[in-house]
Amino acid sequence: MFGLALPRSACLAGALALSACAGGTFRPPSDVPVRIGKPYVVRGTTFVPAADPTYDMLGYASWYGSESGNRTANGERFRPDWITAAHTTLPLPTYVEVTALATGRRIVVRINDRGPFIPGPRIIDLSRGAAERLGIRAAGQAAVRVRRIEPSDAERRRLLKGKPTPELPPVTQPVLDTLRRQFEAAGMTVTGPTRRAAGR
């Protein structure tokens, strides 16, 4: 998997079925059952879904919205304005906190789809609504931290109804500086890439 895994110490210091299958019936948004799924192959790469309670990665996020109305990998209807995302291996659904490394802005996102499948250090595909809320829609692609979390029941209910959770305060400057240094030490830059890649 591409991306940079953060060690547990970094986590404490700061406190990776196919997507968009068209047509068919839709499952109502729900957090049960949680689906892990079997290994699958896309464009010659094998992905092995697995539970990962300590998931904490640095990489790039992109966004997608043209699949509006299609079926997500866990059977729900894809709604581009909702705060959702696609990930290659985390269980469906999984909740994550996504932090934009350029600004320190953070949002809570519900993963209900599979992707991204473009080679490179992209670790998550955000819905258009999530990209807008994180402030990265115009850039198309942005450096991020993705960390698995357990949101409150109230936050879950909001996301399941297509509403964003209350705005989170940005990460502190010392934490943001540490994340940026780790990102750049892995050979990636916070300022790029900025062009949205075609496809998923």
Confidence label for 5 from pLDDT (cuts 50, 70 and 90)? low
Q: Using one digit for the tens of pLDDT, what is the confidence trace for 16-61?
A: 334 444 456 899 999 999 999 999 999 999 999 999 999 999 999 9
* pLDDT of residue 62 exceeding 60: yes
Q: How are beta strands 106-113 and 40-42 bridged, if at all?
A: unpaired
Q: Are 128 and 65 in contact (CB under 8 A)?
A: yes
Cβ atoms 79, 112 nearer than 8 A:
no
Does 4 have pLDDT greater than 80?
A: no
Q: Which tokens sit at 133?
A: 């809320």
**Over the chain, what is the mean pLDDT?**
87
Phi-psi bin for 155: left (phi > 0), alpha (psi -120 to 50), beta?
A: alpha
Nearest-angstrom CA–CA distance, 141 and 196: 6
Check residue 118 and give its pLDDT.
83
- Of the two residues 2 and 168, the one the predictor is more confident about is 168
Query: Over the Cα atoms of the chain, what is R_g?
Result: 16
